[in-house]
Amino acid sequence: MHLPHSLHIKSTYFDYPLYPFRPPHELTGRTAPHPVVIVGAGPVGLIVAMELGRRGIRTVLLEAIETVSPGSRATCVSRRSMEIMLQNQCDEPFVSKALMWTEGSSFYRDQMVYRLRMPHSADERYFPMANIQQCVYEKFLVDRVEQIDHVDLRWQSKVVGLTEGKDTVTLRIDTPEGEYDLSARYVVAADGARSIVRELLGLRLAGESHSGRYLIADIRMASSYPTERRAWFDPPSNPGNTILMHKQPDDIWRIDYQLATDQDSDYELQDDRVRARIKAHLDWIGETAPWQLEWTSLYKAHCLCLDDYRYGRILFAGDAAHLVPIFGVRGMNSGIADANNLGWKLAYVLQGLAPDSLLDSYTPERRAATLDIFDNARKSTLFMTPPTRGYQLTRDAVLQLAIDEDSMKPLINPRQSTPYDYVASPLTTAQREPFERGPRAGAPLINIRLKSGQGKHEHLLDHLGPDFNLLWFGESPAEFRIDVSSTLEGVRVKPILITRLAARSTQGLCVIHDHDGRLYSSFDATAGCAYLIRPDGHVCARWRSWDEAHLAQALRRALTR
Amino acid sequence: MLTTEALERIFDDIALSIDTVGDRNESLFLTKLALALANQLSDEMLVRAQVALARRHLQA
């Protein structure tokens, strides 16, 4: 009998909801296999459910505990993740609550040695980064999922067994009222770093673990300091080590401090010890307001992943598939990108619009993204937590030189998360013609601001449909003579005309008036040019000149048909 | 000026070399490296300026 014991999590700013267990039909008798069962209702599992739900696919979403994840955990959300939330209509509560930021400061002792400035302009809908506690963010996602009829969210339901059949996977579920079997055509394992699904299959993550440890703590403190990333190397408050500090909503501050190699984790996690160390740092940076300790945890950097994110009918996403260092905020953001990638592919396979082989593209696309993260995160981790005397000495030399020498400063760049381009993906059509600007084939679409209407800003992504989209740069709707609905049987393509002339949308053709030519310029477009966009918002082909055959070929490639 | 990518590779190379030569040879290795680079620069004033730069901000 599974009885979760995370009840009564205390917080100074967040009331943890308690979600009841509701006995499902399977407890009293067998039911037909479900299309998809998702294990784990964290951000990744919730977004997979939304991606499938908005395409009409029913899912069962299982969560072992009875509330959202405790603590602030993955607190930085990237612009790309916000765009994925927008596509799933769950960005509004997030945007109104989260703290947006673009900049950061890195200090060596008391000297600023690097100023982080992430690319941002007034044309963007979202800031490059937003801080919000994961528990708050997850609650928003749960609220949204509860509005979707297609998602059967089952709390207090723990996977304890797994059997693979030819056409289905059967999970054994333990609940407060006993066990039952649950079958599905596909299972998405989004059950986190300690994935039970991974364990039941006997799969192991491979890679390297770094030696540096961080104690991460949330405190509640009123401070007017702006929202930005602050990093200190070798501050008097943590000699020889580093400290990171982030502002979160509701006066919550996240402080991550590196533990020295000889410091005992259990001793350092004691409340009195944590308070003393935080006080030393706050005193040193001049924060004088009273504060309360909210939450603590311990963190170690890993670069670990599965060899394959697909195991038959089971697909791994987020921390269940890969563990990445926190430096650069890639953990949850890469998990959300997994969900975005997997959602449409599963939907297309289940709707019969693509063969099962489309799911084989999930690993090459998302594991390549993980390996790219490892490359960046390894550099960040070696700089943040030098593992040897050689790295420590070289890092300290760079930091001292950077006080006077600008040429050294790029080495201090924390390499914040950026979206991964599926340029080498088997789903991407190679470009035949040169483009000087615009998202290349494989890259996510850029969300450019369009002309304002009655004080309301619109952006390009607002016009995209949930399936394929074709951005066609032309003059008038009358010139668009291709019947995209018949290009590839059953496959929905939304044509969007981008024109510099005023024109109205017609039935079957959405029109965007590029009144100042910014879209043409940003996409390096010439008349007749087209961009084909995948359902997850990545460009899968772009042409200066094209016809129906090119479109059909690109769609077949994108769907492995 | 070196590119960031080149600087990153050199950062790794120096760090790994320090670890490889070990504590006993660390100072000698770094001094040899500084002299070899100074010779390649072929500009005494520039080298002496870099020596002064490297002496700054050291702890007492």
Among the ranges A22-31, A110-119, A414-423, which has the highest mean pLDDT value?
A110-119
Instruction: Calculate the alpha carbon distances from A62 to A37, A153, A181, A226, A393 in Å.
Output: 7, 6, 13, 39, 48
**Two tokens, residue B38:** 């100074």
Q: Nearest CA to CA, how far is B5 from chain A (Å)?
A: 9
Tell me the DSSP string of A108-174: ETTEEEEEEE----TT-SS-SEEE--HHHHHHHHHHHHTT-TTEEEESS-EEEEEEE-SS-EEEEEE
pLDDT of residue A451: 72
* Range in A45-49, A74-78, A323-327 the model is least confident about: A323-327
Helix (H) or strand (E) holding A486, with range, is none
Q: Nearest CA to CA, how far is A367 from chain B (Å)?
A: 23
pLDDT of residue A194: 95
User: Which residue of chain B has the CA closest to A380?
Assistant: B8
Task: Return the DSSP state at A117.
Answer: E
Q: Which of B2, B5, B19, B50 to mutate to test the interface with A (most CBs of A within 10 A)?
A: B19
Give per-residue burial for A318-339: e unless 16+ CB within 10 Å, then b: bbbbbbbbbbbbbbbbbbbbbb
C-alpha span between A258 and A215 (Å, rounded): 6
List, in sequence order, the alpha helices (H) in A461-533.
518-522
**What ipTM goes with this model?**
0.96
CB contact under 8 A, B15 and A379: no
What is the band of A509 on the pLDDT scale with cuts at 50, 70, 90?
confident
Three-class SS state of A504: coil
For residue A499, pLDDT beyond 60:
yes
pLDDT of residue A6: 62
**Two tokens, residue A15:** 């009331």
Q: What is the pLDDT of residues A129-167, one digit of tens each?
A: 999 999 999 999 999 999 999 999 999 999 999 999 999
CB contact under 8 A, B26 and A388: no
- Average pLDDT estimate for A388-400: 96
Helix (H) or strand (E) holding A124, with range, is none
- Average pLDDT estimate for A539-547: 95
For residue A495, pLDDT beyond 60:
yes
CB contact under 8 A, B56 and A403: yes
C-alpha span between A326 and A208 (Å, rounded): 15
Query: Hunting for tokens 């990744």 — which residue is that?
Result: A44
Burial class of residue A28 (count of CB atoms within 10 Å of its CB; 0-12, 13-18, 19+): exposed
CB contact under 8 A, A403 and B8: no
A475, A528 contact by CB (below 8 A): no
Helix (H) or strand (E) holding A540, with range, is strand A539-543
Indicate the residue type of A144.
R
Q: Which residues of B touch A401 (CB under 8 A)?
A: 53-54
- Average pLDDT estimate for A19-37: 92
Q: Which residues of A touch B56 (CB under 8 A)?
A: 400, 403-404
CB contact under 8 A, B11 and A411: yes
Residues of A with CB under 8 A from a CB of B: 111, 379, 382, 386, 388-391, 393-395, 398, 400-401, 403-405, 407-408, 410-411, 413
A210, A55 contact by CB (below 8 A): no
Task: Return the DSSP state at A479.
Answer: G
Residues in chain B: 60
A445, A460 contact by CB (below 8 A): yes
pLDDT of residue A507: 74
C-alpha span between A512 and A458 (Å, rounded): 10
pLDDT of residue A453: 58
Domains in chain A and their CATH numbers?
25-99+131-206+303-373 (3.50.50.60), 455-558 (3.40.30.120)
Q: Which of B4, B8, B11, B13 to mutate to test the interface with A (most CBs of A within 10 A)?
A: B11
pLDDT of residue A483: 80
C-alpha span between A470 and A552 (Å, rounded): 12
CB contact under 8 A, A389 and B18: yes
CB contact under 8 A, A390 and B58: no
Chain CA centroid to CA B47, Å: 11
A34, A184 contact by CB (below 8 A): yes
What is the band of A454 on the pLDDT scale with cuts at 50, 70, 90?
low
Tell me the DSSP string of chain B: ---HHHHHHHHHHHHHHHHHH-HHHHHHHHHHHHHHHHHHHT-HHHHHHHHHHHHTT---
Q: Which residues of A touch B19 (CB under 8 A)?
A: 388-391
Task: Return the DSSP state at A208.
Answer: E
**Mean model confidence pLDDT for chain A:** 93
What is the band of B60 on the pLDDT scale with cuts at 50, 70, 90?
confident
Listed in sequence order, the residues at least 6 apart from A329 whose beta carbon sits closer than 8 Å to its beta carbon are: A74, A76, A77, A78, A129, A416, A417
- For chain A, the straight-line distance linking the first and the last C-alpha, in angstroms and rounded, comes to 46
Three-class SS state of A224: coil
Chain CA centroid to CA A431, Å: 27
CB contact under 8 A, B15 and A394: yes
Q: Nearest CA to CA, how far is B60 from chain A (Å)?
A: 14
Tell me the DSSP string of A302-361: EEEE-S-SEETTEEE-GGGTEE--TTTT-HHHHHHHHHHHHHHHHHHHHTTSS-GGGGGG
Instruction: Calculate the alpha carbon distances from A124 to A208, A320, A471, A520 in Å.
Output: 37, 32, 19, 16
**Two tokens, residue A90:** 């769950």
Q: What is the pLDDT of residues A160-208, one digit of tens each?
A: 999 999 999 999 999 999 999 999 999 999 999 999 999 999 999 999 9
CB contact under 8 A, A382 and B1: no
User: Within 10 A of A1 (CB to CB), how many other CB atoms are there?
Assistant: 8
C-alpha span between A189 and A314 (Å, rounded): 7
CB contact under 8 A, B7 and A386: no
Among the partner residues B12, B16, B57, nearest to A403 by beta-carbon distance: B57
CB contact under 8 A, B15 and A382: yes
pLDDT of residue A494: 94
